[in-house]
Amino acid sequence: MTQTVDKPSKAINEAVGKPIDRVDGRLKVTGAAQYSAEIPVENPAYAVTIGSKIARGQITSIDTREAEKSPGVLGILTHLNLPKLHPMPTFTGNGSAAENRLPLQDETIHHSGQHIAVVIADTLERAKYAASLIGVDYTAETPLTEMEKERDRSFGKGYFGKPPEVIRGNPTEGLAKAEVRIEETYTTPTEHHNPMEPHATTAVWEGDRLTVYDATQFNFGVQQALASVLGIPAENVRVVCQFIGGAFGGKGMVWPHVPLAAIAARQVKRPVKLVLTREQMFTSVGHRAETEQQVILGATRDGHLTAIVHKGISHTSAFDDFVEPFTIATHIMYACPNLQAEQRLVRLNKGTPTFMRAPGETPGMYALESALDELAYAVKLDPIELRLRNHADTDPDTNLPWSSKSLKESYRLGAEKFGWSRRNPEPGSMRDGRYLIGMGMASATYPTLRMPAAAKARILQDGTALVQSASHEMGTGTATIMTQIAADALGIPVEKVRFELGDTKLPRAPVSGGSMTAASVGTAVKGATQAVRAKVLELVRTDTRSPLHNIPETDLATAEGRIFAKSDPGKGETYEAVLKRHNLQEVEESFNAQVSQEKKFSSHAFGAQFAEVRVDPDFGEVRVTRFTGAYGVGRVLNLKTARSQMIGGIVMGIGMALLEETITDTLTGRIINPNLAEYHVPVSADIPAIEAYFVEENDPHVNPIGAKGVGEIGITGVAAAVANAIYHATGKRIRDLPITPDKLL
C-alpha cells in the first residue's frame, strides 16, 4: 500500500530519522498493551449512561423505581440526586472541559443523546438492563437542526486569538480590479472521529484520592477538570493513559462522562468502569462541525490574485461557542494584498463540536483549494503554475519571514513522483476503457505549534537509560521517537533506552494535539538527556581515576554507551563503568522546555497532494486509484512512523471526500446513522497505493529538534485534490461533500 519515502540515509550511529520499529509494537500485537477500559481493578462496578430521546425541551419526570429494584444495581444518578458540581473551565477559558455545561445539573435538554442518567451495577449486563427500565417523560420543543434555516441568527465569533472578521488591504477594490472572478459556495457535512477505541473511563477512589484511567490526549487536562468539578486539590487526582486506540482530536478535551464516572465511583464506594457505546460516540464526545463557505477570488488574466474573500458559517451547540476555524489557512497560504476572512456561528440543538484532525485547515483548505482549481481553469493555467505565481515568500498575515518553507520543492517532487506531466489538462479527456480518469492536486499546510513540557532522564548503573514525561501514545509513535531522541543525546543504542509516559505522576506534558507533541515533549526529552549526559561527563573530567580526567568537555563524545575523547577515540570508558566506580545506582536530571513568546519567524509545514481517480460514467462510482503527497515538515524523526502518519491523514481525507457524513433527522434532531454500518469510513478496498515523500528541510529556528509535526498536515488538501481530480475526469464540479454517486449522475 505504501512506497519508500525519499530521504537521505542517516549516519550509522544516529537513531533520529531512521525507520525503526515502534518500541511498543510487541505489546500491542500480543495484547499486552492495556487500554483504559481494560485496566484491572479490584471489585469493579459498571456504569451505563442514558441519553435523552428528544433534542430540545425539558424532563418532566424520571422514574427509577423499577430500575433500582433490578438485581445488581448499586446506584442511579440523575439531575434529581446528583450533587451540585463546581464549574470546569473550558478550552476558551484556559481549561480543558469540552462543554460549558455540567452534566445532570438540571432538567433542560439541549440535544439528542444528552446524558440524563447513570446506572451503576455489579455487571455491565445488569447495568444495561436496569437502564432499560427507567421511564422518562418530556415536554418537547421543536429542535433547531438545520444550519441554513438558522443563518439569520448567526453571530460572529473569534478563534485562536483572531477576531470574527479580518480585513487586510482593500478586498472590495481588489475584486473591482480583477479581470477574472471566481465566486462559489462549498459545504462540508458534520463528521465524527470514530476511533477504534471508544471513550472509556475507569475511576478508583482511595479515601479522598482519585485515580482515573481515561482514554485521553490530555492527562493533565483531565486532572485539572476533575479537580475543578469535584472541588478537590489537583494533587489528589492521578490520571493514567498509556495507550489510546485512536483519537483524532476527539479525546483532547474532557467530556461529561469522565466526571460522571468519578462521581459514580464515589457514590457506590468501589471502582467504576464507564465505556461509551458506538452510538454514544456520535452524541456525547463532539464532532467536526458542518460548514458552509463562500470563496471569492479575484485575479488578473495571468493568474495573479488581486483579492481573496473567504467567509461562511459553521454550527455550534445551544450552550457553547465552538468555532471550526475554516478561514485560518487562508490568511497565510497565498501572496495577496487584499483579504477578507470571516467566521460566523449558528446555534443548533446538537452536541458541542470539537477538534477533529487539522481543525479549520481541513474543511477550509477543501474550499480554498477547490476555488484555486476553478481559477486555474478560468485563466487557463496549470494548477501548480497558478499556485507558484501566488507563492507567499513571507507570511502574508504577519509579514514575518518563514523559519523554512519547502512548498515549491513539494510541488516539484510530488508532481515528479505522481507523473503530473502526463495529465491532459482538458476535463473529460482521459480514459481507461469505459472509465473516466482524472488527476487533481491541492496544497497542504499546518502550523508548527509548541507548548511548555518537562522531562526527566536517568542513566542507570547497568548502562541503560530511563526517560519520563507524561505525554501520550495514540498509536502515532510518540514513545518511539522520544526513545530515538534520547538515544542520540546520550550516545547509547535505542534498545538501551526506556521511555515512560501517560501518567500525571511523571513530568508535565501538554495536550497531544495540534501536531505539537514531538516539538514540545521532544525538546524536553532532548534537554533532560543532554543535562544528565553533561552531569556524567563532569564526573569523568573531575575523577583522577578516569582515563578522561581533565579532558575538555568539548573534546568528549559519546557513542554506543561509551564516553571517549574525540582526539583519541581509544581513550574512554562506558557509562556503566563510571557509575559503578562512583557507587551510583543512577544519575538523574530534569528539564523544563519553555517557549519564547517572541516571534521572529512564522513556522508552518507545507506540502502538495496529488490524486488520481477513476469514475464510472454510467453509475457515478468514484475510485481513487493513486495518491501521492510530498511535504516539508522539518526534521523527520522516524521515517516509518512519519510515513504512517501521512498515510493515515490521506486515508481520512479520502473518507472526507467520498464517504463520511453524519446525518441528522431534521424533525427530531436525532442522528440516524450512529454506527459504522451506516456512517461510512474508508476500508482497504477504498484505498489505493499511497506514496508519501519528504523534502529535506533543516530548520534551525522552529525548535531545538527541528521538527514541525506530521500528525495533521497529511489530511489537509486531500479532499480538494480528490474533488479536483473528479472535475478533471468528468467536467462536473461538485462543491458539496461527500461526493457520492448521486451527485455525479
Helix axis angle, 517-541 relative to 478-490, nearest 10°? 30
Residue 11 has pLDDT above 70, yes or no: no
**Does the bond joining 738 to the residue before it have cis omega, within 30 degrees of 0?**
yes
Q: Is a pLDDT exceeding 60 seen at residue 384? A: yes
What letter does residue 440 receive in the DSSP assignment? E
- Residue 365 makes CB contacts below 8 A (sequence gap 6+) with 329, 333, 442, 443, 444, 445, 716, 717, 719, 720
> Please, what is the angle between helix 639-658 and helix 718-730, to 10°?
50
Q: What are the distances in angstroms from CA 549 to CA 171, 453, 578?
A: 69, 35, 12
Q: 3-class DSSP state for residue 565?
A: strand
Query: Does domain 383-449+602-744 sit in CATH 3.30.365.10?
Result: yes
Buried b (16+ CB within 10 A) or exposed e, 595-620: eeeeeebbbbbbbbbbbbbbbeeeeb
- Whether 383-449+602-744 and 11-29+451-593 are alike in CATH topology: the answer is yes
pLDDT value at position 92? 76
Backbone φ/ψ region at 456: left (φ over 0), alpha (ψ -120 to 50), beta: beta
Ranges 45-54, 92-101, 684-693: which has the least confidence = 92-101
In the predicted structure, residue 355 carries a pLDDT above the cut 90: yes
Contact 607, 5 (CB under 8 A): no
Minimal CA–CA distance to 536: which of 488, 486, 586, 570? 586
pLDDT tens for residues 626-648?
Answer: 999 999 999 999 999 999 999 99
CB 8 within 8 A of CB 696: yes
pLDDT in tens, 493-552: 999 999 999 999 999 999 999 999 999 999 999 999 999 999 999 999 999 999 999 999
DSSP-H helix ranges across 542-670:
575-581, 639-658
Write a three-state SS string for 108-123: EECCCCCEEEEEEECC
- The torsion angles phi and psi of 65, rounded to 5 degrees, stand at -60, -45
Distance between CA 701 and CA 78 in Å, rounded? 53
The three-state secondary structure class of 13 is coil
Mean pLDDT of the chain: 96
Domain range list for the chain: 11-29+451-593, 383-449+602-744
Check if the beta carbon of residue 150 is closer than 8 Å to that of residue 346.
yes
- Could you tell me what percentage of the chain is helix, strand and coil, using 3-state DSSP and rounding each to the nearest 5? 25, 25, 45
- Confidence class of residue 3 from pLDDT cuts 50, 70 and 90? very low
Asked if 634 contacts 697 with a C-beta cutoff of 8 angstroms, the reply is yes
- What's the pLDDT at 94? 83
The per-residue pLDDT for 597 is: 87
d(CA 24, CA 232): 35
- C-alpha to C-alpha distance for 282 and 115, rounded to whole angstroms: 13
CA–CA dist 55, 67 (Å, integer) = 24
In words, the CATH class of domain 11-29+451-593 is alpha beta
Percent of the chain with pLDDT over 70: 98
Provide, rounded to the nearest whole percent, the portion of the chain with pLDDT above 90.
97
Which of 387, 378, 377 shows the shortest CA–CA distance to 443?
387
pLDDT at 8: 37
pLDDT attached to residue 5: 42
Do residues 479 and 455 touch, judged by C-beta distance below 8 A? no
Q: Please list the residues that pair with 165 across neighbouring strands.
A: 342
Answer yes or no: are the C-beta atoms of 627 and 608 closer than 8 Å.
no
Adjacent-strand bridge partners of 292: 187, 313
Query: How far is the C-alpha of 458 from the C-alpha of 585, rounded, in Å?
Result: 10
Categorize the per-residue pLDDT at 13 as very low, low, confident or very high, splitting at 50, 70 and 90: low
Residue 2 clears pLDDT 80, i.e. is over it: no
Residue 109 bridge partners (DSSP): 57
Residue 4 pLDDT exceeds 60: no
Q: Is the confidence at residue 1, as pLDDT, over 60?
A: no
Tell me the mean pLDDT in the region 722-731.
98
Cα distance between residue 315 and residue 609, in whole Å: 28
| 712 a catalytic residue | yes
Q: Is 627 helix (H, G, I), strand (E, B) or coil?
A: strand
Which residue pairs, CB below 8 angstroms and at least 24 apart, start in 460-463? 460/579, 460/585, 460/586, 461/576, 461/579, 461/580, 461/584, 461/585, 461/586, 462/576, 463/492, 463/496, 463/561, 463/574, 463/575, 463/576
The per-residue pLDDT for range 129-165, each reduced to its tens digit, is 999 999 999 999 999 999 999 999 999 999 988 999 9
pLDDT digits (tens, 9 = 90+) for 672-711: 999 999 999 999 999 999 999 999 999 999 999 999 999 9
Q: What is the pLDDT of residues 262-301, one digit of tens each?
A: 999 999 999 999 999 999 999 999 999 999 999 999 999 9
Mean pLDDT of 615-622: 98
Q: Are 195 and 745 in contact (CB under 8 A)?
A: no
CA neighbor of 650 nearest in space, from 721, 728, 725: 721
